[in-house]
Chain A
Amino acid sequence: MRRVFSFFGEKERFMLALIAPAAITMALFQVVPIVLGANASFRDWNLYDPKKTWVGLKHYIEVITDPAFFGLAIPNTLMFLVASVTLSLVFGLCLALMLNRTFFGQSIVRTVILLPLMVAPVIASIMMRWMFNDQFGIVNVVLEGLGFQPVAWLAYRWTSMMIIVLADVWLWTPWFAVLLLAGLQSLPKEPFEAAAIDAAGPWRVFRSLTLPMLRPVIVVCVVIRSIDAFRVFDQVWVISGGGPARQTEMFSIYAYVEAFQRMNFGKGSAAALVGGLVIVVFGVILYRILDRAVEVSK
């Protein structure tokens, strides 16, 4: 032990000491669970049944061949990811550009815009579900007031999906806005002054100056949010529960329902690991993009 230790210099020992608490916590509560989950995924494991028969790859085959997994859960998750990240990026950018100007009442506006950051996804989802309630929701009340037919929002796949995405966009737009605003304010002033002298229009300035210079921040935001969006659970669970008829089921709902409602812990773990693998591969690709854009690991 001492020889290993003296192999590292004084600087390396300091580096290891700095990360030791984090590394130990991670090993205990992240690495160990993943190993446990991998073990469970090879067994027939019911939470009420002490017998844990080894069944090999059975659960993996079941998950991969299940049309509800690669046919519904994963495509739904990816659709949700693309829609949610794109929309909150666009809205967040608009908000950041708006807040980057000076106007009266700015601090109040900023507070209002930060509001969704404080609201639990569960609360936001409950609210969305209540607002889109088919009989008593405010949305249908307004629609009827305007002379339209009320819509049974949560009875169809695409309207349910829309509400889930809406809840997520509402929750995460401020996050994009704050990060992009910080990015906007750290941009150098000179190119903008030069553009003003050349009498460039605002759209032109935005497209040729702001957007390219903001690119690193945009890339970081998009990568972080994409990884997060893949594991969405709260919104879907509260708004649609994966319904109607599993039509909005996402990957984490699939694993949860398998493990805790159908009492097939092995299959749930297998699904969680297959989905985890999909996102890790996706994450490594994103990492490459991230590294090229901002050189994070340097």
Chain B
Amino acid sequence: MSTQAINTPVAVQPDETGFFAMMAPGARRAFFYLVVIGVCFAIAFPVLWLILTSLRPASGMFYVHRGTEFTLENFVEVFANKTVLKAYLNSAIIATLATILSLGITVTSGYMLSRFKGPIATGWFSTIYLFRCVPYISWVLPLYLLTQSLGIYDTYLGLLLPHVAVHICFFSWLMKGFFDGIDPSMEYAALIDGCTRWGAFVRVALPSAIPGIAALAVLCWLWTWNEFLFALLLTSHNTPVLTVVMAQFVHELGIEWNLMSATAVMALGPALLITFFGQKYVISGLKI
């Protein structure tokens, strides 16, 4: 959907007897903006507070309401930390590979769900729905055993493949939604013109689904980047991942709030960039 459509107002007349009718139009508008600003502040506050915390010196941590001292020493310390840097790189590699693989697999699966009827399609839909219901913890405990016996525990592959497997269910479903929104008559035309089924899929359906795929790529990347439980269980010293490293600032001696916030702000950076450039697709693409 274009920005134009987003901005199209729905014609609703003001209620003649309601609370708002007692206000002048100007006051009504002022009230609306007050609400908007309040909502934005409430939503942004935790992130702003995180950034503020990351800029405080370790000694000033516990004088939140008094000190106004700011410093970059937390970031310097975090950047000097080899584990954090390695985790940063690992998270990026795994998120990118998982996005490519997951979307590669689910684009065909979603296409099938959208274009075909019959027992195979219904059966596949029921399967992915059922597996989406199974809680992560029911997989992850034995996945720990599986990756160890396959010799891929604590490697890229050992974290990547379970991620891809978990993404299949939901992304197939979302992909189905995108293909549902694309008129199949062009593909029929291509088939009549002598295209193979694969040809019709690759040349006709796939290009029209690109905005949807872009939206999912953004989501998939973010979710893998932000994921915690899988990383906690399937990795150790060799492939540290950012979310786990962050949680490790909570230890017996207390919580290193300043370092934790600095790492968290670093983790937010790429996520913000990706969302900033992909926002258009996410908003228009997310329809089920």
Binding site for B on A (CB under 8 A): 10-12, 14-19, 21-23, 25-26, 28-30, 32-37, 40, 95, 98-103, 105-106, 109-124, 126-128, 130-131, 135-138, 141, 145, 170, 173-174, 178-179, 181-186, 189, 192-193, 195-196, 199-205, 217, 220-221, 224, 227, 230-231, 233-234, 237-238, 251-252, 255-256, 259-260, 265, 268-269, 272-273, 275-276, 279-280, 282-284, 287, 296-298
CB-based nearest B residue for A25: B165
A196 and B222 in contact (CB under 8 A), knowing A36-B146, A118-B275, A259-B141?
no
* C-alpha gap A34/B134 in the complex (Å): 10
In the complex, are the beta carbons of B46 and A201 less than 8 A apart? Answer: no
With a 10 A CB-CB cut-off, give which of A11, A200, A234 has the most chain B CB atoms: A234
In the complex, are the beta carbons of A136 and B264 less than 8 A apart? Answer: no
Interface assignment of B24: CB less than 8 Å from any CB of chain A: no
Residues of chain A contacted by B253 (CB below 8 angstroms): none
User: Would you give the shortest CB distance from A1 to chain B, in whole angstroms?
Assistant: 18
Report, nearest first, the 6 A-B pairs whose CB atoms are least far apart.
A201-B15, A283-B133, A120-B226, A29-B165, A37-B142, A231-B135
Interface assignment of B93: CB less than 8 Å from any CB of chain A: no
* C-alpha gap A203/B254 in the complex (Å): 51
In the complex, are the beta carbons of A272 and B137 less than 8 A apart? Answer: yes
Residues of chain A contacted by B225 (CB below 8 angstroms): 120
* C-alpha gap A137/B106 in the complex (Å): 44
User: Would you give the shortest CB distance from B194 to chain A, in whole angstroms?
Assistant: 15
Interface assignment of B13: CB less than 8 Å from any CB of chain A: yes
CB-based nearest B residue for A286: B133
Binding site for A on B (CB under 8 A): 1, 5-18, 32-33, 35-36, 39-40, 43-44, 46-47, 49-50, 53, 61-62, 64-65, 104-106, 108-109, 111-112, 116-117, 120-122, 124-143, 145-146, 161-162, 164-166, 168-170, 172, 197-198, 201, 222, 225-229, 233, 243, 246-247, 250, 257, 260-261, 264, 267-268, 271-272, 274-276, 279, 282-284, 286-288
CB-based nearest A residue for B162: A29
Residues of chain B contacted by A11 (CB below 8 angstroms): 116, 197
* C-alpha gap A280/B140 in the complex (Å): 17
* C-alpha gap A233/B141 in the complex (Å): 13
Query: When the two chains form the complex, which single residue of A184, A275, A297 contacts B126, counting CB atoms closer than 8 Å?
Result: A297
User: Would you give the shortest CB distance from A142 to chain B, in whole angstroms?
Assistant: 9
